[in-house]
Amino acid sequence: MMQPKEWTEEKLIEMCAKGNGTAQRLLYERFYKKMYVVALRYSKTTFEAEDILQESFVKIFAAIANFKKDSSLDYWIKRIVINTALKQNRRMLDKMHMDDVDDMVEEPASEVFTDKSYDFKELLAIIQQLSPGYQAVFNLYAIEGYKHNEIAEMLGISEGTSKSQYARAKALIQKMLAKDEEKVYEKQREKI
Amino acid sequence: MKSNERKFEDIFRDAFENAELMPSAKVWERIEREVAKKPRVIIMPRLKQIGIAAVIALFALSTSYFFGYRYFNASNPVAIRNATTQPVVTTTPNTAITQPQGDDQKQAIQNTPQTALTNPNDLIVQPPVAASKNLMAGSANRRTEIIAGSARRNIAASPLVDTQNGKTDANNIATLPLAELQLLPVETHSLNKAPEKVAFVPLLSAEDLPMAKFEASRRGWIGLMIAHNQFSPGFSRVSNAQPTPFIVGQYAEASVFHNDLTDSLFNKNSASLQIDGGYFISRKLAIRSGLAFMRNSYSVNTSAELILPPFLQGSAAKPNSIEINTQMLSVPLQLAYVSQGKFGYLFSAGIAGDFNLSHIINSTRVEGIQYDLGNYKPLNISGLAGIGVSYNFTPHVGIHIDVNYRRSLTSVYQTPHLQAHPQWISLGGGLLYKF
Distance between CA atoms of residues B224 and B218, nearest Å: 18
- Burial class, B301, CB count within 10 angstroms (exposed 0-12 / middle 13-18 / buried 19+): middle
Amino acid at B254: A
Q: Out of B7, B9, B367, name the one closest to residue A68 (CB).
A: B367
Nearest of A110, A64, A90, A100 to residue A154 by alpha carbon = A90
Amino acid at B192: N
Is the CB of residue A119 less than 8 Å away from at least one CB of chain B?
yes
Q: Out of B15, B18, B249, name the one closest to residue A154 (CB).
A: B249
**SS3 label, residue B225:** strand
pLDDT score, position B256: 59
Distance between CA atoms of residues A139 and A78, nearest Å: 13
Which of A75, A78, A79, A93 to mutate to test binding with chain B, by most B CBs within 10 Å of its CB?
A79
Q: Are B75 and B147 in contact (CB under 8 A)?
A: yes
What is the percentage of chain B residues whose pLDDT exceeds 70? 43
- pLDDT over threshold 60, residue A58: yes
Closest residue in A to B42 (Cα) is: A62
- A183 confidence band (pLDDT: 50, 70, 90): confident
Q: Are B353 and B381 in contact (CB under 8 A)?
A: yes
Q: Out of A40, A120, A170, name the one closest to residue B8 (CB).
A: A170
**For all residues of chain B together, what is the average pLDDT?**
65
Q: Are B127 and B117 in contact (CB under 8 A)?
A: no
Residues of A in contact with B246 (CB under 8 A): 87
- Burial class, B428, CB count within 10 angstroms (exposed 0-12 / middle 13-18 / buried 19+): buried
3-state DSSP percent of chain B in helix, strand and coil, to 5: 30, 30, 40
Average pLDDT over residues A67-75: 82
Distance between CA atoms of residues B368 and B360, nearest Å: 15
**SS3 label, residue B429:** strand
Q: What is the pLDDT of residues B255-273, one digit of tens each?
A: 556 666 666 677 777 888 9
Average pLDDT over residues A107-127: 71
- pLDDT over threshold 90, residue A111: no
Q: Are B331 and B61 in contact (CB under 8 A)?
A: no
- pLDDT over threshold 50, residue B371: yes
Closest residue in A to B371 (Cα) is: A83
Q: What is the pLDDT of residues B91-107, one digit of tens each?
A: 444 444 445 555 665 55
- B331 confidence band (pLDDT: 50, 70, 90): very high
Contact B12 A28 (CB under 8 A): no
Contact A36 B28 (CB under 8 A): no
pLDDT score, position B240: 57
3-state DSSP percent of chain A in helix, strand and coil, to 5: 75, 0, 25
Listed range (A74-88, B26-40, B101-115, B134-148) with the worst mean pLDDT: B134-148
Average pLDDT over residues B121-143: 43
Amino acid at B188: T
Count of A–B CB contacts within 8 Å?
Answer: 153
- pLDDT over threshold 80, residue A125: yes
Nearest of B229, B217, B270, B273 to residue B390 by alpha carbon = B217
> What crossing angle do the helices spanning A46-63 and A21-41 adopt, rounded to 10°?
140
**For all residues of chain A together, what is the average pLDDT?**
82
- pLDDT over threshold 70, residue B41: no
Distance between CA atoms of residues A157 and A96, nearest Å: 11
pLDDT score, position B243: 46
Average pLDDT over residues A58-87: 86
- pLDDT over threshold 50, residue B80: no
- B381 confidence band (pLDDT: 50, 70, 90): very high
Higher local confidence (pLDDT), B45 or B139? B45
Distance from CA of A128 to the nearest CA of B (A): 13
Average pLDDT over residues B311-329: 64
Distance between CA atoms of residues B60 and B64, nearest Å: 6
Whether the pTM exceeds 0.95: the reply is: no
Is the CB of residue A155 less than 8 Å away from at least one CB of chain B?
yes
Nearest of B281, B276, B275, B274 to residue B219 by alpha carbon = B281
Average pLDDT over residues A79-106: 66
pLDDT score, position A179: 81
- pLDDT over threshold 90, residue A27: yes
Q: Are A73 and A67 in contact (CB under 8 A)?
A: yes
Q: Out of B28, B248, B251, name the one closest to residue A86 (CB).
A: B248
Q: What is the pLDDT of residues B166-211, one digit of tens each?
A: 444 444 444 444 433 444 444 444 444 444 444 444 444 444 444 4
Q: Out of A40, A76, A111, name the one closest to residue B368 (CB).
A: A76
Q: Out of A120, A146, A156, name the one closest to residue B16 (CB).
A: A120
Helix (H) or strand (E) holding A63: helix A46-63
pLDDT score, position B384: 92
> What does DSSP say about strands B125-126 and B199-200: parallel, antiparallel, or unpaired?
parallel
Distance from CA of A179 to the nearest CA of B (A): 16
Q: Are B345 and B387 in contact (CB under 8 A)?
A: yes
Residues of B in contact with A118 (CB under 8 A): 11, 15
Closest residue in A to B25 (Cα) is: A50
Distance from CA of A188 to the nearest CA of B (A): 23
- pLDDT over threshold 50, residue B329: yes
Is the CB of residue A93 less than 8 Å away from at least one CB of chain B?
no
pLDDT score, position B126: 46
Distance from CA of B414 to the nearest CA of A (A): 17
pLDDT score, position B262: 66
